[in-house]
Amino acid sequence: MSRFANDGKTFQSIFEELHQNPELSLHEYETTKRIKNWLQGQSVTLRETSLPTGVFAEISGDLNGPAVGLRADIDALPIHEQTDLPYQSQNEGVMHACGHDFHTTALLWAAALLKQNQLDLPGTVRLIFQPAEETGHGGLKVVKDGQLKGLDAVVGIHNKPDLPVGTIGIKAGPLMAACDKFKITFNGIGGHAAIPERTRDPIVAASSFVQTAQTIVSRNISPKHEAVVSITSIHGGDVWNVLPGKVELLGTVRTFYDQDRDLIIDRFAAIADGLQQAFNVQIAVEWGQGTPSVFNEEKIARIIREANENEVRVVTPEVSVAGDDFSCFQREVPGVFAFVGSNGPEDWHHPAYRVTLKGSALPQNSIIALRLPF
């Protein structure tokens, strides 16, 4: 296995070290130090940043060419690890349960390969080790820090347990969902359960909202577009003989197209407005806008796909209703996010989650990184 030139570490050992030392979003201080040390050992030029965590670096070739960003996320999750790996997390209650240790290792490997081939490199590759993907805050911080300025394209990967090792999934268009959340408050007038005419019952209004909201996707969104509205919490009342004055609903909306997202927000407002009239209660909709959908640029997706087809098995993946704030980068620079097969059986964020490194998963990640649209 390839080794880092400076300290002889294998990429397997780097991966294990990262896995053993997971850190939560915006607290990736030790991870940041490790990445910096490894890159500096390879004489890779670091970029200035105002962010306390995350690492940004650049490798420029002698030949003219585009500037392409490669992104790996570096944070872990508040999960107690339940694998039998010999290199389990040593940070109690924190775990790399989404394989960001794998992404980080793959990008370090790409850095080493790019550095070795620097003279033949047409253009510039910027290495983006992004903090805080799991909380959805890091991507935007990186954009605001100016780390995408001057790039012509940006490429990222995520491991995918339902694809076998040795497979990558690339598609143009939507890949991962926009993830929004909402809170809806129904304010009525509580009172005696047997004297409803003196109340304004928020329970009936909330029940009606739950039913009506489930018609938004089925009656307003094209059947060719995926979208989900889920109401996940409903709270109101404490006892059997008193009508409450207030009911709260919580839930989430997942969409892949901006126009669907906007339409659902509009429909929520319209339904709330109508039910206010119908039930004579006050309804407040609070929208928690999350990250937009991961939406791959067609031309870059095609170029990367064609460049990789002779090296690995390339498939067209199904869309994922999970989100990734790589989408914030794609709003700044044309970009493509690809899935890399990592063998299940557990899915992302499971306490027994593990990325399979057997075979040639890591080199292939690096190949993806290297076969850019030059």
Chain residues in the site for Ni ion (CB under 5 A): 98
Q: Quick one: 98 or 361, whose CB is closer to Ni ion?
A: 98
CB 102 within 8 Å of CB 12 = no
Smallest distance from the beta carbon of 279 to Ni ion, in angstroms?
A: 42
Q: Quick one: 130 or 308, whose CB is closer to Ni ion?
A: 130
Q: Quick one: 106 or 243, whose CB is closer to Ni ion?
A: 106
Smallest distance from the beta carbon of 204 to Ni ion, in angstroms?
A: 41
Smallest distance from the beta carbon of 337 to Ni ion, in angstroms?
A: 11
Q: Quick one: 98 or 312, whose CB is closer to Ni ion?
A: 98
Smallest distance from the beta carbon of 273 to Ni ion, in angstroms?
A: 38
Q: Quick one: 179 or 216, whose CB is closer to Ni ion?
A: 179
| Selection from 189, 209, 185, 194 nearest residue 278 by Cα | 209
CA angle 21, 27, 31 (to 5 degrees): 40
Contact partners, residue 21, CB within 8 Å, separation at least 6 = 30, 31, 34, 89, 90, 91
Q: Quick one: 260 or 325, whose CB is closer to Ni ion?
A: 325
Chain mean position to CA 110: 21
Smallest distance from the beta carbon of 363 to Ni ion, in angstroms?
A: 21
Residue whose beta carbon is closest to Ni ion: 98
Smallest distance from the beta carbon of 15 to Ni ion, in angstroms?
A: 15
